[in-house]
Each structure stands twice: as structure tokens, then as C-alpha cells.
């Protein structure tokens, strides 16, 4: 099954109105290939602003988090319906920084995923192992453990994109070799095939460990790597090089 190339840009807690304006203007002017689907994720304060100023219809907006309730006394949180209300179409859930710093459990990430899907948001679902877990040979075990509550709770995976992000490669400048990344992606797809059947063939699995303009093309021949979730490089002009790396 053909899976459309997907590039997500996670700005994390970076940027100002001025710097995000520059990025949006670059994307508006860019000749983005029809073969690529692009989503950018600015900090929550700038989601609405970015959506209002983005004129390139090949680029969509994601929030970086969502709470699994429609409304209520949840200070500091935002709901899926509020994200939709300001024009965003996607949300990033389960990022390693949420799991390790905020201590979100696999079950809580699954609850968020269900709520986001119920509100018609696409979900970029992040999974990945710590360095110690990788050294202990637990990569696949960790990834499948993180996926398990979502598999048990979600029947329709058509609006989920899985992002495999080895935590040891995020922001370190280190990246898995294409061979290692493909091996992990293939194991993730095998697990999904066992749990959700033929749907797994259509689920896009992104690689997200220090992808940049120079190394993105090295993953092109990996059959189970369907795109990238980009961190720091999404704030730089080289983000366009990543978007065009398969055109």
C-alpha cells in the first residue's frame, strides 16, 4: 500500500512571533512537492496566529499536546475541541519529553489519543526508548508497550501517524543508522499488523531522531520509514530540504 510521505515540524518550546512569522513566510513561498504532507507544530500560544497567516494549503498545523477532557477546571491545559476551534488539524501526543519530564503514562497517552480522534484531530503518536533501554536490547519491547494501550482503545487507525523517536537521539546530534531505524520500524509495523490487521499497512511510521537536511535522504530506501518528525531543524531553512528529500 502506498503511504504518502509525511514531514512534521515540532518547534517544542521555541520561537517568538517574529521567528515563527519567518518560518510561515518561508513555507508560504515554498514549492512543496505534491508527494509530501507537511505539518508544523508551534507552541500553543502561536497555533492560532500561525494558522491565520499560513496560506500554503499543503501545510497544516498541529498542537503539541491536548488534555482528554472537553472543558473544565484543568488549569494550563487545552482541549482537542479548542485546538480544532482555532483551525489546527493535528496534535502531537506521547512525546518523550511529556513521558519523561511530565511523567505521562502509556495509558494516559492512550486516553488522550482516543479523545483527540473523537474530536476529529489527526494524531502524531510518539514512541521510543531511552539509551539504557536500547543498550539492554529493549527497544522493541518499549515501543510495543507504549503502543499497547492505544491498540486496545482505538479501532480506526486512519488518522494516526506513529513517530518512532529514540530518546537518545533527540537533540543530541546522534541518529540511528538507516539500517537500525528500518529494523525498528519493521518491528513496529509487524506488531501493529498482529494487533490491527491490514490497517497496519497504511499506518505511516515516522523517524524522529535528529533528522536534518543532510541526513534525511539517507533513509529514503527504508521501506517502513514513511517520513520524519523533525525537532530543531524545523526551525531552520533546512526544513525545506527535508520536505524535498524524496521529491
Alpha-carbon dihedral sign for residues 13, 100, 229, 202: negative
What contacts 227, CB < 8 A, 6 or more positions away? Answer: 5, 6, 7, 8, 36, 37, 161, 204, 206, 207
Distance CA 63, CA 48 (A): 10
Residue 217 is a catalytic residue = no
Q: For residue 47, what is the enclosing H or E element?
A: helix 44-53
Distance CA 203, CA 194 (A): 13
From 95, 104, 129, 185, active-site residue:
95
How many residues appear in the chain?
247
- Select from 148, 72, 161, 147 the least CA-distant residue to 116: 161
SS3 99: helix
Residue 95 is a catalytic residue = yes
Are the CB atoms for 17 and 227 separated by under 8 Å?
A: no
From 37, 104, 165, 185, active-site residue:
165
Catalytic residues: 95, 165
Amino acid at each position: 500500500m502506498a503511504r504518502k510521505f509525511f514531514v512534521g515540524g515540532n518547534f517544542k518550546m521555541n520561537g517568538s512571533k517574529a521567528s515563527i512569522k519567518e518560518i510561515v513566510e518561508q513555507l508560504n513561498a515554498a514549492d512543496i512537492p505534491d508527494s509530501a504532507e507537511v505539518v508544523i507544530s508551534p507552541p500553543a500560544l502561536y497555533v492560532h496566529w500561525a494558522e491565520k497567516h499560513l496560506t500554503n494549503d499543503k501545510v497544516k498545523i498541529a498542537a503539541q499536546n491536548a488534555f482528554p477532557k472537553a472543558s473544565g477546571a484543568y488549569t494550563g491545559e487545552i482541549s482537542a475541541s479548542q485546538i480544532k476551534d482555532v483551525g489546527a488539524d493535528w496534535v502531537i501526543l506521547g512525546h518523550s519529553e511529556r513521558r519523561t519530564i511530565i511523567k505521562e503514562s502509556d495509558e494516559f497517552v492512550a486516553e488522550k489519543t482516543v479523545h483527540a480522534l473523537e474530536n476529529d484531530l489527526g494524531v502524531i503518536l510518539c514512541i521510543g526508548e531511552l539509551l539504557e533501554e536500547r543498550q539492554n536490547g529493549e527497544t522493541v519491547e518499549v515501543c510495543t508497550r507504549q503502543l499497547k494501550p492505544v491498540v486496545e482503545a482505538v479501532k480506526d487507525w486512519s488518522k494516526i501517524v506513529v513517530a518512532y523517536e529514540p530518546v537518545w537521539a533527540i537533540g543530541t546530534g546522534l541518529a540511528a543508522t538507516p539500517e537500525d531505524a528500518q529494523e525498528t520500524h519493521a518491528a513496529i509495523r509487524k506488531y501493529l499488523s498482529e494487533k490491527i490487521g491490514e490497517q497496519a499497512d497504511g499506518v505511516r511510521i515516522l523517524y524522529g531522531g535528529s533528522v536534518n537536511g543532510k541526513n534525511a535522504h539517507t533513509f529514503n530506501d527504508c521501506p517502513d520509514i514513511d517520513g520524519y518528525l523533525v525537532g530543531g531543524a524545523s526551525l531552520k531553512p533546512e526544513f525545506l530540504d527535508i520536505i524535498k528529500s524524496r521529491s
